[in-house]
A = this chain, B = another copy of it.
Amino acid sequence: MVQKAKPTNRAPKVVDVARLAGVSTATVSRVLNDPEKVSQNTREAVLAAVKETGYRINRAARNLRTNSTRSILALVPNLSNPFFSNILSGLERALNAEDYSLLVTDSGDAPLTPDQMDRLIAAGQADGLIVLDGSISQADFAEVQANNPSCPIVFACEWVNDVNCPSVRADNVGGVATLVDHLWENGHRRFGHVMGPTSNVLSTVRRDAFVTRVSELGGETRNPWILQGTFSIDAGRAAAEAISAMSDRPTAWICASDQIAFGLISGLTRAGINVPDDASVAGFDNIEMTEVFNPPLTTIHQPRNKMGHQAAQSILELIRGQENRAQVHILPVQLVNRESTGPAPR
């Protein structure tokens, strides 16, 4: 019977394996990295020696020599946001499957400065960067890219305009249009929108899609019916206050996130405006809680795990030189029709 890795005092290295297998370190290394380059016999001998010694590669040494780290750094605006953690989850699994690991940095809701980003990149802790933060200005980002021309970067979910990086995102335009259509079919003709922060691409893209679709259908919206805020519950509540003070208001509200919708509905209800009887409210994201919220929220489902997965694929292909720098992956979304929307009041 084969012995379990014997308790050595020192961690075994390639030389130990090589000695035991009666080959050179080069051969051991080859067995581990390019098995086909080695004859079957020696390969088996080496693998046996690896098992017997309990050898585990020293990453630092390999990283130094190969000038790579087999890890990817994700830049997240706010880790405590469940939306991001879902994407990270998909990301992490896809990376792990390829023997890459995931480093996470929380930029703390304040967009990173170019200098901070340079430092993160130059730290040489990662082979690539996945940016989940769309609040970075185009100029700042261009600077970072210019300073680090060889650093593979992929955007996931959010992105920065006019930057030459692969990007993975949901079909935001289609999603918003679907919501408008859904409300339109329910007889609504006057539409309002609660945006995220104006500094964020998603906010503006969704707002524009909203305005476009409403006008295509011939519906009505007005500037004061488009409220700005953040993607948070609190922003939704604040919007509710503003709305309840309006003398003349839309019957249908589309929110830029589910959290906004929660706050909005909560606030409207408190103000005596019943959802969906007096006003319909739709969200965006389909986070887990939408289902048990009262009323269950009509929203757009984003394939979060898939987005993480695709982002992982893209960055790996970029690292391997197979990905087109300008590739934009737009993943389809789906309307989830629940009970926060209904027929327009007459």
Spell out A's residues near B (CB within 8 Å). 11, 56-61, 63-64, 67, 69, 71, 78-82, 84-86, 88-89, 92-93, 96, 101-106, 108, 119, 122-125, 233, 259, 262-263, 265-266, 269, 288-289, 291-294, 304-305
Contacts and interface: CB of A to CB of B under 8 A. Distances in A.
22 contacts: A11-B122, A57-B123, A58-B64, A58-B124, A59-B63, A59-B125, A60-B60, A60-B67, A60-B124, A63-B63, A71-B103, A79-B88, A82-B82, A85-B85, A102-B104, A233-B288, A262-B289, A263-B292, A266-B291, A269-B294, A289-B293, A292-B293
**5 tightest A-B CB contacts, nearest first:** A294-B294, A60-B63, A82-B82, A85-B85, A79-B89
B106 A59 contact: no
Nearest to A233: B292
Nearest to A120: B101
A128 B77 CA distance: 25
B106 A103 contact: no
A292 B234 CA distance: 10
A303 to B, nearest CB: 13
A71 B292 contact: no
Instruction: Give this chain's copy count.
Output: 2
A134 to B, nearest CB: 19
A259 to B, nearest CB: 8
A123 B71 CA distance: 12
B86 A80 contact: yes
Given A58-B64, A262-B292, A289-B262, A80 B78 contact: no
Contact of A291 (B92, B101, B233, B305): B233
Nearest to A264: B292
Given A80-B82, A294-B293, A104 B106 contact: no
A92 B63 CA distance: 23
A244 to B, nearest CB: 16
A289 B101 CA distance: 31
A105 B92 contact: yes
B56 A122 contact: yes
A122 B289 CA distance: 38
A6 B333 CA distance: 46
Contact of A289 (B89, B96, B289): B289
Contact of A101 (B89, B125, B259): B125
A102 B103 contact: yes
A104 B104 contact: yes
A230 B69 CA distance: 37
Given A96-B105, A119-B56, A292-B263, A125 B71 contact: yes
